[in-house]
Structure 1
Amino acid sequence: MNMNKDYAESEPPRAEVDALPGPTVVEFGAPWCGFCIGAQPLIEQAFAGHDSVRHIKIEDGPGRSLGRSYRIKLWPTLVFLKDGVEVARLVRPSDAATIRQALAQIA
């Protein structure tokens, strides 16, 4: 699976995310967020070679229950899951190497 480039406007229920098998990264942010835009090249570099990792990109904001269930405060936040369990979390990642290290924990 390749990295998603677009934020999903609708979010899956938390129970559905918790039930996902295998490695998954849930990215919370917004298409207009400067930090999110700046992080995209780093995320894309880090995802190269990790085709088996599911990438769910969620547009977050007020009233969005999935982001609240993960206690998201800043964007972008990447939550790294293995079989629905959080293994790592990065808030406003600043380099691809850190993202690759977190991916290695779930791949």
Structure 2
Amino acid sequence: MATQELTEQNFAETIGNDGITFIDFWAAWCGPCRAFAPIFEKASNEHSDIVFGKVDTEAEQQLAAEFRITSIPTLMVFRDGIMVYAQPGALGSEQLNQLIQGARDLDMDDVLRQIADRDKN
């Protein structure tokens, strides 16, 4: 599945679905973003069960501000609507594949328990 362009209009619906969603915050003028783009696109074609979306930070400045994007590219991973990863910097293919496997392997019951415990304090 090819990457999807995400905007303020479709972002919440996209990340709110069950399953795994990878989001690449990028801009056309950003060299590391352009270097990461084919790696991200290749992964999107290899992992059709995962949603891969791209947010153009120039066109979607409000969305970038909402997620406090200060450096691009920034990669975010959501699982069942919960952000489980957010970090700036371009990844290599092997690193991205490790992150994909890590997202698949997450014990979401444990993640939800940790969130509940954190919110109690």
**Range of TM-score over shorter length:** 0.7 to 0.9
Q: Is the 8 A contact 1:29 1:77 kept in 2?
A: yes
Supply the RMSD in Å over aligned alpha carbons.
2.5
Q: Relative to 1, partners in 2 of residues 1:68 and 1:48: Cα closer, same or farther, differing over 3 Å?
A: same
* More helix as a share of residues: 2
Which structure has the greater CA radius of gyration? 2
**SS of corresponding position for 2:35:** helix
Aligned equivalent of 1:97, options 94, 99, 110: 94
Aligned-partner Cα distance in 1 for 2:85–2:13: 19
Q: Relative to 1, partners in 2 of residues 1:13 and 1:66: Cα closer, same or farther, differing over 3 Å?
A: farther
- Paired residue for 1:31? 28
Unmatched tracts of structure 2, length 5 or more: 105-121
Percent identical residues: 25
Aligned-partner Cα distance in 1 for 2:28–2:59: 15
- Paired residue for 1:76? 73
Aligned equivalent of 1:64, options 61, 86, 103: 61
Q: CA deviation at 1:103?
A: 1.3
Aligned-partner Cα distance in 1 for 2:91–2:57: 20
Q: Relative to 1, partners in 2 of residues 1:62 and 1:43: Cα closer, same or farther, differing over 3 Å?
A: closer
Q: CA deviation at 1:54?
A: 0.6
Q: Give the TM-score, by structure 2 length.
A: 0.69
**SS of corresponding position for 2:53:** strand
Partner AA of 2:94 in structure 1 = A
Q: Is the 8 A contact 2:21 2:50 kept in 1?
A: yes
Farther off after superposition, 14-23 or 36-45: 14-23
Unmatched tracts of structure 1, length 5 or more: none
